[in-house]
Amino acid sequence: MPSEFRLYNTLTRQVEPFAPADGACVRMYTCGPTVYNPAHLGNFRTFLFEDLLRRVLRLRGWSVNQVMNLTDVDDKIIKRANERGLTITQVTNPVIEIFHRDREYLRIERAESYPRATEFIPQMIALVQALVDRGVAYQAEDGSVYFAIDRFPSYGKLSRLDTREVRPGARVSQDEYSKENAQDFALWKAAKEEDERTGAAWDSPWGRGRPGWHLECSAMAMSLLGETLDLHCGGIDLIFPHHEDEIAQSEGATGKQFSRFWCHGAFLLTDGTKMAKRLGNVHTVADLRENAVSAAAVRHFVFSTHYRQELNLSADALEGALNAVRRIGTFARRLEEARGGTPALAEAARIAVESARAALFDDLNAPEALAALHTFIGAANAELDRGGTDESAMQEARRAFALIDGVLDVVPEEVSVEAGLAERVEALLAERKAARARRDFAAADAIRKSLEAEGIAVEDLPTGTRWTKVR
Ligand code: AMP
Ligand code: ZN
């Protein structure tokens, strides 16, 4: 069984073997949403790629400590708060609620923490101070503190920027006159009136101000995960300048490598020519719900394309995914209800698990894992048509399906495994009732024991028999 796990590292532009530094727990930081508007499906494509990644890391046998920040102070949030006469918190709180609701709808697992930028101001100030002390940051005449990129020689290593182009002497625009170098970026922004009005200003050694966006991520990542992370992820647009600047700030302050691996998901695009169709206007999770597009279908659609390839959102692609997950759901129910299998079923299950693991461990090849699942469904359906009495083959098929679906999570809710389970338990309880009626207590007991072995507790009450899933 393949156990080497390989991942594309933007830092080296290569697929490389990956393992957490401590051999046990992957410390991963994922840039989260800017919470001024509900996240769109493009954002969620990136969050789904990260959900796939964390599930595959666990399948490989590691635990995961994932941090996803919530950017709750930035220009757009302040602008909105100002327009509406609100504080930034009043703008961001409801959007954060929507984010979690949408995340749950798409079955994106909860990260271990969701720090809000505004809750880490002291850590951000300490980081700016460390950079000032080390001589790589300076306060300019406008009161803001900037990172001096020409005092950090490795600047540009992630985005492979030709740093000569951004050396002093480059054009300096009108509003950036106070910086030493046009490319220097703000660590701490001097407070303006609208920042004060909306609760977006804090005291600091450099006067009232607020953190720059890049600074937030460096401070929160290092506070919660340590100075060197295993993995840092986001959408491809974040490579420059956001991640480049995170590296500069973090490594400029600690002198240590900030993240061993950098992983970036490609963009979700929308196909303008097909927007007239029924599913054509789907851009947010709310739109998905209104159009009865299940989470399973969205996941199937997203995972049908490799995370490093651009993906086009179109009505046809969503229809295709809806049909595919319908087939998967029907199969899930059939598998739950079947009583026995054949040796060939067990063999198909083994092949499916092996192919899915090999694909997922090879730079998260979800399209191939999905293909392995569909191949398995085809083979297993043929075997189930044939009948069979092999209970262990049946169990093997169920385990294979559960393992693959545990990563992809593509069984639509209307025919979920749980629903299939309920039907099967009810059928067995009916059999048990019949056995008791004919005073065949041995058969009745055997049914009860087999249910208990599956984690189903059976209770006989005066009103009838009740069952509960205990594990
Ligand atoms: P933002 O809220 O703009 O900070 O973005 C949150 C995440 O979504 C970041 O990782 C972005 O790179 C990612 N993102 C933004 N637009 C898209 C898109 N169209 N496709 C995929 N990811 C995106
Ligand atoms: Zn970030």
For residue 238 and ligand 1, the question of a CB distance below 6 A is answered with yes
Q: Which of 32, 101, 109 is nearest to 71 (CA)?
A: 32
Residues of the chain with pLDDT under 70: 1-2, 162-177, 271-281, 414-420, 469-471
Q: In what order do the strands lie in the sheet with 259-265?
A: 63-68, 25-30, 229-235, 259-265
For residue 38 and ligand 1, the question of a CB distance below 6 A is answered with no
| Domains present along the chain, CATH in parentheses | 6-270 (3.40.50.620), 314-408 (1.20.120), 421-469 (no CATH)
What pLDDT is attached to residue 74?
95
Judge contact between 232 and 94, C-beta under 8 A: no
Q: What is the pLDDT of residues 282-301, one digit of tens each?
A: 789 998 988 889 999 999 99
d(CA 159, CA 150): 16
**CA nearest ligand 1 atom 1, residue:** 33
What pLDDT is attached to residue 153?
92
* Segment holding 466, helix H or strand E: strand 464-469
How many Å lie between the centroid of ligand 2 and the Cα of residue 246? 7
For residue 43 and ligand 1, the question of a CB distance below 6 A is answered with yes
Three-class secondary structure assignment of 155-191: CCCCCCCCHHHHCCCCCCCHHHCCCCCCCCEEEEEEC
Nearest ligand 1 atom, CA 235: 12
Nearest ligand 1 atom, CA 267: 20
For residue 42 and ligand 1, the question of a CB distance below 6 A is answered with yes
How many Å lie between the centroid of ligand 1 and the Cα of residue 230? 21
What pLDDT is attached to residue 174?
42
The bound ligand whose nearest atom lies closest to the alpha carbon of 34 is 1
What pLDDT is attached to residue 401?
98
**CA nearest ligand 1 atom 12, residue:** 235
d(CA 230, CA 227): 10
Distance of CA 80 to the CA centre of its chain: 27
What pLDDT is attached to residue 162?
64
**CA nearest ligand 1 atom 5, residue:** 33
For residue 267 and ligand 1, the question of a CB distance below 6 A is answered with yes
Number of C-beta neighbours around residue 197 at 10 A? 15
For residue 30 and ligand 1, the question of a CB distance below 6 A is answered with no
Q: Provide the strand spans (E) within 229-325.
A: 229-235, 259-265, 268-270, 311-313
Crossing angle for the helix pair 391-408 and 315-337, to the nearest 10 degrees: 150
- DSSP for residue 239: I
How many Å lie between the centroid of ligand 1 and the Cα of residue 290? 23
What pLDDT is attached to residue 176?
53
Q: What is the pLDDT of residues 93-141, one digit of tens each?
A: 999 999 999 999 999 999 999 999 999 999 999 999 999 999 999 999 9
d(CA 369, CA 172): 50
